[in-house]
Chains A and B, each alone.
Chain A
Amino acid sequence: MIQFNYIAAFFLICLGFYTIVTKYNLVKTVIGMSVMDYGVNLLIISIGYTPGGTAPIFTAGELTQASYFVDPIPQALTLTSIVIGACVTAMSMSLIIRLHESYGTLDTREIRRLRG
């Protein structure tokens, strides 16, 4: 059933791209970036998944040949990625507030002083 995760991840990434490309509202752009991030996170976590595995938390005594757990590295990566995603959102929201102050709009089509 892990295939559904991959399909969902692909779908989320594409949805993120779609939102960033077609929506002219800055906040929606940021939402698109977040959605894209979630798609990537889902992909990472799915890659580390092993059917039937337990959480990779154990002490040295518990470790046996038959120990069966999911790959811990992608989980660590996901944590990093989530933190970074949160930072991106925070940073872009603060930028949006300042942009709204100086441009008086959130429409990307009007925020284009720099061009050519």
Chain B
Amino acid sequence: MNFTNMMDYHHFPIYAVMVLFLGAFVTMVCGTRPSKNPNNPAGLRAWIALCATGVSLLLLVLLIKPVMLGGETIAYWMGSRGIAGGYAIGIALEVDALSLFFALLIATAVFVSAIYSIRYMVHDDCVPQYYVLYCLLAGGVLGLVLSGDIFNMFVMVEILTFAAVALTAFRTRVYGALEAAFKYLVVGCMGSSAILTGVILLYAQYHTLNLAQLASLIPGSMNNATKLAFAFLYIGFSTKAFIVPFHPLAADAHGAAPASISVLISGVLTKSGIYGIIRLTWFLFQTMELGAMQFMLVFIGSVSMFVCVTMALAQHDFKRLLAYHSISQIGYVLTAVGLSTALGVSAGLYHAMNHTLFKGLLFLAAGAVLHETGTTDLGKLGGLSKKMPHTTVLFLIGAFSISGVPPFNGFASKWLIYQAAYQRAVETNNIGFLAAAVVALVTSTLTLASFVKVTQSVFFGQLPPEYENVKEVPFGMRLAMGILAVLCVLTGIFPNTVMSVLTEPAARAVASVGEYIMAMGFKATVPTPEVSFAHVGVWTPVNWLLILCIALLALTVAALAGRYDQVSASQGENVETKYQLFYGGEQNVYSQVGGGDLFWGFKHNWRHYFDFMHDLHSGVVNDYALWAVVALALAIMYMMIAL
């Protein structure tokens, strides 16, 4: 094989996956002795991981041109063993725009988090092993989304679950880390077993494991075993996406893991679950035409959205709060995908991308706070904006993005989701979609409330005396956050570019199952539908931003000219008390309005709901396992009736 042949872009997907696994292997070979550099105890291993993720990202970026813009679907048979006798006998990688879209998200998040890890993991033991697991996790997720073979998807799911569990438990001394890892392991393995069962049931019916071939065989020949398989697969991927009823695990795992890993678990692992669900419903079974299926996804999406945002409001730990928000945002994605329109899918994918960016940013900011202060308890922090101004600004960008404040990216995608939902409601004359739109709109405000709470109790308000000596985080960590922040802003200001380059090709790929099947060399009976991304709303962020800037400039000029912050000499007495806070004349004492005390007016009216929810999320692993079993049973019943 000569070099030109090797650099053919059809090989890039497998290179992208292999380079990560190779990275894991090489880091492992490098041994476990920490290096002498106090700023990078992993030494060379950190750079290996960084290079591996960087190369992987680069390879995937190079694929944008042929796959996203050219509309090509790359079908890659490992070892050139393809189809024999009408059956796929080889192991395949199949990269359509949807796979590439998710792969790009994953690679970006992994790369940025690797940059962040170098300085963030300084205080930990066993950092060399951290990078082994890190590369494994990254490789597992990437392999999952690029795979064209359902059994390989299962294997990748197992790899990523293991790596994620191990990394969740990585900081064994952190409060609850082991416990979180164990819970995640139990329910995660139930999910994985469910996926395996689903895979094997499908194999028993169709004697193939190739996704494209399954997709060409399943529709039209559904029987009870297939329906059972669907239910198992759905539940399996739900546990990976942490949607209701698996959200408590997300909260535990995201909260306990190191921040750089929380980024992956929330920004990347959940996406793999969403990817699985899209593949399952749109491709394998092609059930999205069914009202029952749309109802299920929209319903579960809306419930995830609302339940998780209210759970987040009740949290008093920074990372746990972020974790619940993560699932709330995944609820948006699921709702949008469940709308079953091209616009909906495009909006959902857009939001999935934004979620990776802003949630990554927020978790990294939480990690920065943890790194400097040693706690993420909202009740103990405060006033950090004076000590960590850059982190504050970056956090605020993330917070505005997630709460859908224009012109950041969260708003652009949420705005599309509202429209898609309402348009769908009007088209089908179905009031359920309208309810979903209203829930989405209200959830957005509650998200804002929740982040106002974090802003007030971590970054603003008063600085507790014990954090007098806190410093800004090292440049490496700020760089990682900065990359994500810039992406958050850019994807918010240029929604049309993002849509035409990334989400619309992916959404088109979702709609055209036939091409996916045919690219692999199988016969497809599904025609490729005409898709339209038309929407009724108007929003031009660039113009708005321009006007706002002019207005702000005019105001600032006026303010500066008019001595906006004029100070005059005091008349003498008590100058030192002049700049103290007003406490009714009392001497200044440390008095911070903690996160738990905010929004009493809201919580009081919903107290029964909050009490009920608190009791429900009992923290006992048996309960969560029971939820999983019940969800499985319900899913089986629903599929039997609905499909």
Which positions in A face B, CB cutoff 8 Å?
13, 17, 20-24, 26, 29, 33, 36-37, 40, 43-44, 47, 71, 73-74, 77, 80-81, 84, 87-88, 91-92, 95-96, 98-99, 102-103, 108-109, 111-116
Are B185 and A95 interface neighbours, CB within 8 A? yes
Are A116 and B314 interface neighbours, CB within 8 A? yes
Hey, which chain A residues are within 8 Å of B192, CB to CB? 84
Closest to B197 in A: A40
Are B165 and A99 interface neighbours, CB within 8 A? no
Are A91 and B622 interface neighbours, CB within 8 A? no
Residue among B162, B185, B618 with most chain A CB within 10 A: B185
Task: Say yes or no for B255: interface residue by CB 8 A criterion.
Answer: yes
Report, nearest first, the 10 A-B pairs whose CB atoms are least far apart: A115-B619, A112-B619, A47-B204, A114-B176, A116-B614, A113-B176, A20-B625, A114-B252, A21-B626, A44-B200
Give the CA-CA distance A33 to B185 in the complex, in Å: 10
Of the residues A17, A43, A81, A87, contact of B162 by C-beta under 8 Å: A87
Are A116 and B204 interface neighbours, CB within 8 A? no
Are B166 and A113 interface neighbours, CB within 8 A? no
Task: Say yes or no for B49: interface residue by CB 8 A criterion.
Answer: no
Supposing A88-B189, A114-B255 touch, asked if A95 and B181 sit within 8 A by C-beta, the answer is yes
Hey, which chain A residues are within 8 Å of B625, CB to CB? 17, 20-21, 29
Of the residues B193, B311, B626, contact of A40 by C-beta under 8 Å: B193
Closest to B314 in A: A116
What distance in Å separates the Cβ of A29 from its nearest Cβ neighbour in chain B? 6
Are B200 and A47 interface neighbours, CB within 8 A? yes
Give the CA-CA distance A47 to B209 in the complex, in Å: 14
Of the residues B200, B256, B622, B626, contact of A43 by C-beta under 8 Å: B200
Are B197 and A73 interface neighbours, CB within 8 A? no
Can you identify 8 A-B contacts, CB atoms within 8 angstroms?
Answer: A40-B193, A40-B200, A81-B196, A95-B182, A98-B172, A112-B620, A113-B176, A114-B320
Of the residues B181, B182, B186, B617, contact of A115 by C-beta under 8 Å: B617
What distance in Å separates the Cβ of A36 from its nearest Cβ neighbour in chain B? 6
Task: Say yes or no for B629: interface residue by CB 8 A criterion.
Answer: yes
Are A92 and B256 interface neighbours, CB within 8 A? no
Task: Say yes or no for B151: interface residue by CB 8 A criterion.
Answer: yes
| Apart from A44-B200, A80-B151, A102-B178: 12 A-B pairs, beta carbons within 8 A | A20-B190, A24-B622, A29-B621, A40-B196, A47-B204, A81-B196, A91-B165, A91-B185, A95-B178, A99-B178, A115-B619, A116-B613
Q: How many residues in B have their beta carbons less than 8 Å from beta carbons of A? A: 50
Task: Say yes or no for B396: interface residue by CB 8 A criterion.
Answer: no
Query: Beta-carbon contacts of B592-623 to A below 8 Å, as 1s and 0s?
Result: 00000000000000000000011001111110
Task: Say yes or no for B158: interface residue by CB 8 A criterion.
Answer: yes
Of the residues A13, A21, A43, A88, contact of B185 by C-beta under 8 Å: A88
Q: Classify the secondary structure of A's interface with B.
A: helix
Of the residues B151, B169, B613, B622, contact of A98 by C-beta under 8 Å: B169
Which positions in B face A, CB cutoff 8 Å?
151, 155, 158, 162, 165-166, 169, 172, 175-176, 178-183, 185-186, 189-190, 192-193, 196-197, 199-200, 203-204, 207, 209, 248, 251-252, 255-256, 311, 314-315, 320, 613-614, 617-622, 625-626, 629
Are B200 and A77 interface neighbours, CB within 8 A? yes
Are A26 and B619 interface neighbours, CB within 8 A? no
Of the residues B182, B252, B320, contact of A26 by C-beta under 8 Å: B182
Are A111 and B621 interface neighbours, CB within 8 A? yes
Are A47 and B179 interface neighbours, CB within 8 A? no
What distance in Å separates the Cβ of B181 from its nearest Cβ neighbour in chain A? 6
Are A113 and B179 interface neighbours, CB within 8 A? yes
Hey, which chain B residues are within 8 Å of A115, CB to CB? 248, 614, 617-619
Hey, which chain B residues are within 8 Å of A112, CB to CB? 179, 618-620
Give the CA-CA distance A21 to B621 in the complex, in Å: 8
Are B629 and A114 interface neighbours, CB within 8 A? no
Are B619 and A113 interface neighbours, CB within 8 A? yes
What distance in Å separates the Cβ of B322 from its nearest Cβ neighbour in chain A? 14
What distance in Å separates the Cβ of A18 from its nearest Cβ neighbour in chain B? 9
Residue among B151, B162, B193 with most chain A CB within 10 A: B193
Hey, which chain B residues are within 8 Å of A44, CB to CB? 196, 200
Closest to A14 in B: B629
Are A92 and B182 interface neighbours, CB within 8 A? yes
Are B190 and A99 interface neighbours, CB within 8 A? no
What distance in Å separates the Cβ of B42 from its nearest Cβ neighbour in chain A? 22
What distance in Å separates the Cβ of B607 from its nearest Cβ neighbour in chain A? 14
Hey, which chain A residues are within 8 Å of B165, CB to CB? 91, 95
Supposing A21-B629, A115-B619 touch, asked if A73 and B178 sit within 8 A by C-beta, the answer is no
Residue among B155, B166, B203 with most chain A CB within 10 A: B203
Are B203 and A74 interface neighbours, CB within 8 A? yes
Hey, which chain B residues are within 8 Å of A116, CB to CB? 311, 314-315, 613-614, 617, 619
Hey, which chain B residues are within 8 Å of A71, CB to CB? 207
Closest to A111 in B: B179
Hey, which chain B residues are within 8 Å of A111, CB to CB? 179, 182, 621
Of the residues B256, B613, B619, B622, contact of A20 by C-beta under 8 Å: B622
Residue among A20, A92, A111 with most chain B CB within 10 A: A20
Hey, which chain A residues are within 8 Å of B183, CB to CB? 114
Give the CA-CA distance A111 to B352 in the complex, in Å: 34
Give the CA-CA distance A9 to B280 in the complex, in Å: 25
Are A91 and B166 interface neighbours, CB within 8 A? yes
Give the CA-CA distance A73 to B208 in the complex, in Å: 9
What distance in Å separates the Cβ of A51 from its nearest Cβ neighbour in chain B? 15
Give the CA-CA distance A40 to B190 in the complex, in Å: 11
Are B189 and A22 interface neighbours, CB within 8 A? no
Closest to A37 in B: B193
Give the CA-CA distance A91 to B164 in the complex, in Å: 12
Hey, which chain A residues are within 8 Å of B614, CB to CB? 115-116
What distance in Å separates the Cβ of B363 from its nearest Cβ neighbour in chain A? 17
Give the CA-CA distance A80 to B169 in the complex, in Å: 25
Give the CA-CA distance A100 to B207 in the complex, in Å: 45
Closest to A112 in B: B619
Closest to A46 in B: B204
Hey, which chain B residues are within 8 Å of A109, CB to CB? 620
Are A95 and B619 interface neighbours, CB within 8 A? no
What distance in Å separates the Cβ of B256 from its nearest Cβ neighbour in chain A? 7
Closest to A81 in B: B196
Give the CA-CA distance A33 to B186 in the complex, in Å: 7
What distance in Å separates the Cβ of A92 from its nearest Cβ neighbour in chain B? 6
Give the CA-CA distance A23 to B623 in the complex, in Å: 11
What distance in Å separates the Cβ of B38 from its nearest Cβ neighbour in chain A? 27
Hey, which chain B residues are within 8 Å of A43, CB to CB? 197, 200
Give the CA-CA distance A114 to B183 in the complex, in Å: 10
